[in-house]
């Protein structure tokens, strides 16, 4: 890719609490993964997670204020309270240090995180916060809020005729998969186990083709072949990739992005495999995040039966 690809940063004078909290959560989670196999690396990323969380909490600012270029695409609609709570909870899980649990409880109250979220996504972390609190804290409040949150998505949102819960029009599969993952996690925690397991698996089954066709590149019947993805749309090297050709050519993508989850249908199950339709046929890291986690949860639940 030869176009300009600028990078941006947050720092002391231009902070961004969402980015710091989210990065702290990711690094704290990574420290758990590497704890036994590479203790030195685990300690290194955990130290960075602590530093980032402290920075995000003490130097509070919306990241789209410090980086205004993101406002038209990735503005922080939910604010930074959910990310700070998310980061504190992951640090508590990684360290067992009550300081972080206390901070998470403080964030819960300060930012009124019981308000039902409209999605579980890169922006709205609340449903994940409810799940982590339920895992880590015995207070019935958090358990009840997780139950209420899942019920909110399962019962208050419309469904497509084929059975996909329709949370948001842009990347509908992505949003359904992320909530499905939390439902499967709740099932693992013994919360409405049969209902949550069946509901979560049903959402993933829809994406795999149980109702209409597969939405997963390279898998199942009538899978998408023209997903909106720049590299996948380009021919093999050493040919130069003409962006206009890559976007508009009528054939399948020259490269297969195996396992990528396409955005998803509209509210009537309508889906056209059109490379130019980035609303319904885009692929992205956050699309596959909840979907992949849900698949792992389904495998784990299946092996326990």
Each residue's pLDDT tens digit, 82-135:
999 999 999 999 999 999 999 999 999 999 999 888 999 999 999 999 999 999
Q: What pLDDT, on a 0 to 100 scale, did the predictor assign at position 90?
A: 98
pTM greater than 0.85: yes
Q: Whole-number mean pLDDT of the chain?
A: 96
Q: What pLDDT, on a 0 to 100 scale, did the predictor assign at position 1?
A: 65
Q: pLDDT tens across 38-79, in order? A: 999 999 999 999 999 999 999 999 999 999 999 999 999 999
Given a cut of 80, whether residue 224 has pLDDT beyond it is yes
Mean pLDDT of 259-275: 98
SS3 64: helix
Residue 82, C-beta contacts closer than 8 angstroms, at least 6 positions apart: 111, 113, 124, 125, 126, 129
SS3 228: strand
According to DSSP, residue 252 is labeled -
Residues 100/57, Cβ–Cβ less than 8 Å? no
Q: What pLDDT, on a 0 to 100 scale, did the predictor assign at position 53?
A: 98
Q: What is the C-alpha to C-alpha distance for residues 170 and 193, in angstroms, rounded to an integer?
A: 30
Residue 227, C-beta contacts closer than 8 angstroms, at least 6 positions apart: 217, 253, 257, 260, 262, 275, 281, 282, 283
The percentage of residues in the chain with a pLDDT greater than 70, rounded to a whole number, is: 99
Alpha carbon 140 to its chain centroid, in Å, reads 26
Q: What pLDDT, on a 0 to 100 scale, did the predictor assign at position 72?
A: 93
pLDDT band at 304 (very low <50, low <70, confident <90, very high): confident
Residue 186, C-beta contacts closer than 8 angstroms, at least 6 positions apart: 131, 134, 146, 147, 150, 192, 196
The percentage of residues in the chain with a pLDDT greater than 90, rounded to a whole number, is: 94
Given a cut of 90, whether residue 184 has pLDDT beyond it is yes
What are the residue numbers of the active site? Answer: 273, 282
Q: What pLDDT, on a 0 to 100 scale, did the predictor assign at position 2?
A: 72
């Amino acid at each position: 890719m030869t176009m300009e690809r600028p990078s941006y940063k947050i720092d002391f004078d231009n902070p961004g609490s969402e980015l710091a909290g989210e990065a702290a959560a990711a690094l704290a989670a990574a420290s758990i993964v590497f704890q036994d196999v590479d203790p030195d690396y685990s300690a290194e990323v955990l130290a960075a997670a602590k530093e980032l969380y402290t920075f995000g909490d003490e130097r509070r600012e919306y990241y789209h204020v410090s980086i205004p270029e993101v406002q038209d695409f990735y503005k922080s609609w939910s604010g930074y309270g959910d990310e700070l709570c998310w980061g504190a909870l992951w640090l508590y899980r990684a360290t067992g240090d009550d300081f972080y649990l206390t901070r998470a409880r403080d964030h819960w109250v300060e930012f009124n995180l019981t308000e039902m979220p409209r999605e579980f996504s890169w922006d709205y972390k609340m449903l994940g916060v409810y799940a982590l609190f339920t895992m880590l804290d015995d207070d019935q409040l958090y358990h009840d809020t997780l139950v209420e949150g899942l019920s909110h998505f399962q019962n208050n949102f419309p469904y497509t005729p084929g059975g996909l819960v329709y949370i948001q029009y842009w990347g509908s599969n992505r949003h359904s998969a992320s909530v499905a993952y939390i439902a499967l996690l709740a099932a693992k925690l013994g919360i409405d186990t049969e209902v949550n397991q069946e509901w979560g698996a049903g959402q993933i089954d829809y994406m795999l083709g149980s109702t209409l066709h597969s939405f997963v590149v390279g898998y199942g019947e009538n899978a998408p072949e023209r997903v909106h993805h720049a590299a996948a749309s380009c021919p093999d090297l050493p040919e130069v990739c003409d962006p206009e050709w890559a976007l508009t050519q009528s054939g399948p993508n020259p490269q297969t992005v195996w396992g990528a989850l396409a955005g998803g249908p509209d509210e009537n199950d309508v889906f056209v495999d059109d490379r130019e339709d980035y609303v319904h046929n885009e692929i992205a890291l956050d699309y596959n995040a909840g979907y992949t986690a849900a698949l792992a949860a389904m495998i784990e639940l299946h092996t326990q039966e």
